[in-house]
């Protein structure tokens, strides 16, 4: 028997974007296959009738639904879709303990649980469900599309492959057995220390003070997560980050192993000047079929696709989902 945990959900509008008067909004909860209750914001077009196409949205990795995913969900609801933006397991308002950990398995399951929820709503057409994954959740969205045949269309935006970056480092700069061994060794020393002391240590989010010589991608993250533009009190990236050992399993549990077998439609979107663009370019090369597309946005950087309304190609996304849902 599925049991929904009673989560404490805020009733105030605490998003980093303004509330639309074109959609209805409410909080919802649903349970994943591991018994973790997830919290989500549901957006639906006002005066909508009949069964609607639906979209589940999550990301960026280390963000919460009050940030970029909520903006995507609300905007797509304005365009006629019923949408949910959810907090992944162990983060935000969702359940799961310990807090601030990630899992390639459980986080892929989070997307599938969102599809479970949408599939049984009276005002959703269960044959017209898609997903949007932002940043690290782009990789999770592709992973979910590879296993869940109910997902009819997938959009990834400014995608990260979290297995690749944890195993290989940024730009594959640590892609060697010796480098991985040293990381594993340090993480396992940390595990023993934490178990002995009975408490998990946070690894730190985006830097609190931006060094003058910080790489551009660090400045890019700072401009979103640490300023009024995108800061949120429940966001891991805006505050103390994941647990030090929170993403350890990604190092030897690669996602996207079967992405070449995705039969449903996929649209991958990335900024031309994003430090992360190589993730989308390489992942796209593995996809097969004429219903797959890679859209590179000229001059855009990684976080432009988090919230810049003149950069995010919502018209293209609407066209894509209308054609494939």
CB 322 within 8 A of CB 315: no
pLDDT exceeds 90 at position 236? yes
Q: Using only C-alpha atoms, what is the Rg of the chain?
A: 19
Task: Write the DSSP assignment of 259-292 as a string of letters.
Answer: GGG--SEEEEEEETT-TTHHHHHHHHHH--STTE
Q: Could you read off the pLDDT of 34-71 as tens digits, one per residue? A: 999 999 999 999 989 999 999 999 999 999 999 999 99
Average pLDDT score, the chain: 97
Angle at alpha carbon of residue 50, lines to 49 and 55, rounded to 5°: 95
Q: Are 163 and 279 in contact (CB under 8 A)?
A: no
Closest C-alpha to 37, from 49, 29, 26, 45? 29
Q: Give the phi and the psi of residue 23 in degrees, each rounded to 5.
A: -135, 155
Burial of 254 (0-12, 13-18, 19+ CB in 10 A): middle
The per-residue b/e assignment along 61-90, b for 16 or more CB within 10 angstroms, e otherwise, is bbbbbbbbbbbbbbbbbbbebbbbbbbbbb
List phi, psi (to 5°) of 265.
Answer: -75, 145
Backbone torsions φ then ψ of 284, nearest 5 degrees: -65, -35
Assigned fold of 23-173+255-324? Rossmann fold (3.40.50)
Give the separation between CA 112 and CA 129, rounded to whole angstroms. 11
This prediction's pTM: 0.97
Instruction: Tell me the C-alpha to C-alpha distance, in Å, between residue 184 and each of 109, 166, 245, 273.
Output: 25, 11, 10, 32
The residue-averaged pLDDT of 185-194 equals 97
Spatial separation of the C-alpha atoms in residues 242 and 203, rounded to whole Å: 6
H or E, element range at 166: helix 162-168
pLDDT at 225 exceeding the cut of 80: yes
What residues does 39 pair with on adjacent strands? 29
pLDDT digits (tens, 9 = 90+) for 68-113: 999 999 999 999 999 999 999 999 999 999 999 999 999 999 999 9
Going by C-alpha positions, the residue among 54, 40, 197, 49 that lies closest to residue 129 is: 54
pLDDT at 2 over 90: no
> What pLDDT is recorded for position 3?
82
**Sheet of 82-86: strands edge to edge?**
23-31, 37-45, 82-86, 52-58, 124-134, 151-157, 265-271, 292-297
pLDDT at 5: 87
**Mean per-residue pLDDT for 283-293?**
98
For residue 110, count CB atoms less than 10 angstroms from its CB and return exposed for 0-12, middle for 13-18, buried for 19 or more. buried
pLDDT of residue 242: 98
Instruction: Give the DSSP letter string of 122-158.
Output: TTEEEEEEEEEEETHHHHHHHHHHHH-TTEEEEEEES
Nearest to 57 by CA among 119, 171, 135, 162: 135
The ranges assigned to domains in the chain are 23-173+255-324
Contact 87, 40 (CB under 8 A): yes
């Amino acid at each position: 028997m599925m049991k929904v945990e009673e989560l404490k959900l805020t009733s105030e509008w605490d998003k980093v974007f303004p509330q639309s008067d074109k959609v209805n909004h409410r909080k919802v909860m649903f349970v994943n296959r591991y018994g973790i209750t997830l919290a989500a914001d549901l957006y639906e077009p006002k005066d909508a009738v009949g069964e609607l196409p639906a979209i589940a949205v999550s990301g960026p990795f280390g963000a919460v639904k009050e940030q970029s995913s909520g903006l995507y969900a609300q905007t797509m609801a304005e365009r006629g879709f019923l949408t949910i933006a959810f907090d992944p397991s162990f983060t935000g308002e969702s359940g799961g303990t310990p807090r601030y950990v990630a899992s390639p398995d459980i986080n892929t399951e989070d997307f599938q649980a969102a599809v479970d929820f949408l599939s049984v709503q009276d005002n959703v057409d269960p044959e017209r469900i898609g997903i949007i994954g932002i940043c690290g959740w782009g990789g999770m969205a592709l992973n979910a599309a590879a296993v869940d045949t109910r997902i009819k269309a997938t959009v990834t935006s400014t995608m990260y492959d979290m297995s690749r970056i944890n195993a290989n480092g940024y730009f594959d700069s640590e892609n060697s057995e010796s480098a991985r061994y040293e990381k594993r060794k340090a993480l396992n020393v940390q595990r023993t220390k934490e178990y002995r002391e009975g408490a998990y240590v946070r690894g730190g989010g985006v830097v609190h003070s931006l060094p003058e010589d910080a790489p551009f991608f660090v400045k890019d993250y700072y401009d979103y997560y640490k300023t009024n533009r995108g800061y949120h009190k429940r966001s891991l990236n805006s505050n103390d980050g994941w647990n030090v050992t929170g993403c350890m399993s990604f190092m030897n549990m690669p996602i996207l192993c079967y992405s070449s077998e995705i039969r449903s439609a996929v649209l991958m979107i990335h900024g031309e000047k994003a430090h992360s663009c190589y993730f989308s370019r390489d992942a796209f090369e593995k996809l097969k079929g004429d219903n797959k597309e890679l859209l590179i946005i000229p001059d855009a950087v990684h976080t432009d696709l988090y919230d810049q309304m003149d950069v995010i190609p919502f018209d293209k996304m609407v066209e894509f989902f209308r054609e494939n849902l």
